[in-house]
Amino acid sequence: MLEKALYGLKQAPRAWYSWSNPDQLSKFKQSMQSEFEMIDLGEMTYFLGMQIFQSKSGIFVYQEKYANEILIKFGMENCKPADTPLVSNLKLSKNDGKKRVDESMFRGLVGCLLYLTATRPDLMFVASYLSRFMSCPSESHYRAAKRVLRYVKGTSNLGIWFKRAEKLVLQGYTDSDWGGSLDDMKSTSGYVFYINEGAISWFSKKQDTVAQSTA
């Protein structure tokens, strides 16, 4: 069992119980291999569409390869980059009177953006926002989604840098708009938490009820 494989770590001296100690890693791998059928593939560089760069100063996680694949999939590989995901103060509505677009295509695009948020907190709000219109996408919704792809084009190499530090510093930020939805006047809340300036948790979602104030 995993508990048995980890028992040696719990009983080990504190000096040995350090992730920077090569002896610890070697003994841990031997313990795991004695319990499970597994092989050592070396230092992780790629996992489920995420690229991982490791150094003595920290770990950088990004999805540049996946971002470029999205651009090629939707024919936006040669588009002009945009500075922001959305046009400033853009408000979208489900019933905007515009011509409808293919639902499966729009859903696929939004789904790709949602997976890209695994290492891109800056896309969390817009991906969540566009997902509200997957059942009735119009040309205005698709145009907004293509704007996001233009932003991805210019920022495909962005990711999260987990910096090595002696002390752990936790910071969190939260905010919401006030009645931002044109369809039901509900607000959208969002938050992001950092450890040593590396984002560890982020979220954006429309509130379940109509807020009477920003408090």
Greatest mean pLDDT among 9-13, 107-111, 176-180 lies in 107-111
CA distance 126 to 103: 18
In a domain, 111, yes or no: yes
Gap between the Cα atoms of 87 and 130, Å rounded: 13
Q: Lowest-confidence range among 137-146, 150-159, 171-180?
A: 171-180
- 83 and 37 assigned to the same domain: no
Q: To 10 degrees, the CA torsion angle through 105, 134, 88, 215?
A: -160
What average pLDDT does the chain have? 85
**Please, which pLDDT band fits residue 25 given cuts at 50, 70 and 90?**
confident
Instruction: Tell me, yes or no, whether 9 and 109 share the same domain.
Output: no
Report how many domains make up the chain: 2
Asked if pLDDT for residue 188 goes beyond 80, the answer is yes
pLDDT at position 215 is 60
7-16, 34-43, 52-61: range with highest mean pLDDT: 52-61
Whether residues 94 and 176 share a domain: the answer is yes
Is the domain of 37 the same as that of 118? no
Q: What percent of the chain has pLDDT over 70?
A: 89
Q: Assess whether 183 and 105 both reside in one domain.
A: yes
- 31 and 99 belong to one structural domain: no
Is a pLDDT exceeding 70 seen at residue 11? no
Share of the chain above pLDDT 90, in %: 50
**Quick one: 78 and 178 in the same domain?**
yes
Task: Inform me whether the pLDDT recorded for 179 exceeds 70.
Answer: yes
Q: Is residue 124 part of a domain?
A: yes
Question: 184 lies in a domain?
Answer: yes
Residue 133's closest CA among 93, 160, 102? 93
Across the range 124-148, mean pLDDT stands at 93
Would you say how long the chain is, in residues?
Answer: 215
Q: pLDDT tens, 118-129?
A: 999 999 999 999
d(CA 205, CA 146): 21
Same domain, 96 and 184: yes
- Tokens found for residue 26: 């070697």
In a domain, 211, yes or no: no
Question: Do 163 and 107 reside in the same domain of the chain?
Answer: yes
CA 81 to chain centre: 20
- For residue 188, the cross-strand partners are 206
Find all residues with CB under 8 Å of 139, minimum gap 6, and list them. Answer: 98, 99, 100, 101
Asked whether residue 213 is assigned to any structural domain, the reply reads: no
Is residue 50 a part of any domain in this protein? no
Does residue 139 sit within a domain? yes
Domain shared by 164 and 67, yes or no: yes
Measured at the alpha carbon of residue 101, what is the angle toward residues 97 and 106, in degrees to the nearest 5? 120
Q: In terms of domains, do 28 and 115 share one? A: no
18 and 91 in a common domain: no
Supply the range of the domain harboring residue 119. 61-206
Per the CB < 8 A criterion, the answer to whether 47 and 59 are in contact is no
